[in-house]
Amino acid sequence: MTFQHASTRLLIAVTASLALACAGAPAEPPGPTPGAPGLAVFYGAVKVDGAAPFEGMTLTVQVNGVNCGSGLVRGGRYEVVVASDADKGGCGKPGDPVLFLIGGEGDPGGHAFDQKGAFQMASQKLDLTAKTQ
């Protein structure tokens, strides 16, 4: 193989790599690893009144009426770690219902999502929808 032939192949490979990297298609962040040891994690898509809520909106989780975690909505998705009873008194024990609220802790305008989860020390995908109107 001549030097010129090798240089041409290298240029084509670099150009193709740059084109793929700059294509502009945002990569979806990877979700948690299912069954992450020692953590109770919920993640998934979020829709309020049929659309993604605004970027950075707070999502709060409650177990037994106690605020046990919160996270931010990013790109129409959420991820939140839910505290266990061992971490925060009154929070999750296996099988406890997990309530999801949009709007943040102490927000009187917060709304409950239609879906509820069940506390377990694992990662769980749960897409959430809520209607405020």
Report yes or no on 115 lying in a domain.
yes
Report yes or no on 5 lying in a domain.
no
Neighbours of 43 (CB within 10 A): 20
Residue 87: CATH number of its domain? 2.60.40.10
| Number of independent structural domains in the chain | 1
pTM: 0.69
Report yes or no on 36 lying in a domain.
no
Report yes or no on 26 lying in a domain.
no
CB 71 within 8 A of CB 55: no
Report yes or no on 61 lying in a domain.
yes
Domain span holding position 92: 41-130
Tens of pLDDT, residue by residue, the chain (133 residues): 443 443 334 333 333 333 434 444 444 444 544 445 568 999 999 998 899 888 999 999 999 999 999 999 999 999 999 999 999 999 999 999 999 998 745 555 568 899 999 999 999 999 999 887 7
